Amino acid sequence: MKNFRYPLEIAISLILYFIVLTLSLAYLKKDNIDYTFQIIVTLLPVIPCLLTVMSVIRLITQLDELQRQIQLYALAFAFTGTALATFRYGFLENIGFPHFPIFMIWPVMATLWGVGVAIGIWRYR
């Protein structure tokens, strides 16, 4: 059952995220909402994201030394790859490339993290 805990936690946090996001977006369509309350409602979907963070950290603390090393390299690959990609694209925006929404940074980083894990697993097979 321990092997199913992480995917279950991630699934629950994603479901909660989509529910909270949908409800907050629907609520924000109302007129005459106090600006401070708009900020609070807008940021509510971050709470389920915090559950994801806690789940990832809990998973990493349970890994053995080799798996932790693979995750460290994957995270370093994702961090530096995302930094390089967004920095580079920022320069391209100066010459007319479309604006890169900040919402896209996490999917880029998550994808590079997955690529980094795959490379690490392949490297240590």
Residue range 55-84, pLDDT digits in tens = 989 989 999 999 999 999 999 999 999 999
Q: Is the pLDDT of residue 7 over 90?
A: no
Q: Are residues 103 and 118 in the same domain?
A: yes
* Residue span of the structural domain in which 19 resides: 1-62
Characterize 36-68 residue by residue with b for buried, 16 or more Cβ atoms within 10 angstroms of its Cβ, and e for exposed.
eeeeebeeebeebeebbeebbeebeeeeeeebe
Is residue 88 domain-shared with residue 125, that is, in the same domain?
yes
Work out how many domains the chain is built from and give that number.
Answer: 2
pTM: 0.75
Specify burial of residue 112 (Cβ count, 10 A radius: 0-12, 13-18, 19+): buried
What pLDDT, on the 0 to 100 scale, is given for residue 3?
67
Together in a domain, 34 and 50? yes
Q: Looking at the structure, tell me whether residues 20 and 43 fall in a common domain.
A: yes
Q: Which two tokens stand for residue 98?
A: 């479309």
User: In degrees rounded to 5, what are phi and psi of residue 117?
Assistant: -65, -45
Check whether residue 69 and residue 101 sit in a common domain. Answer: yes
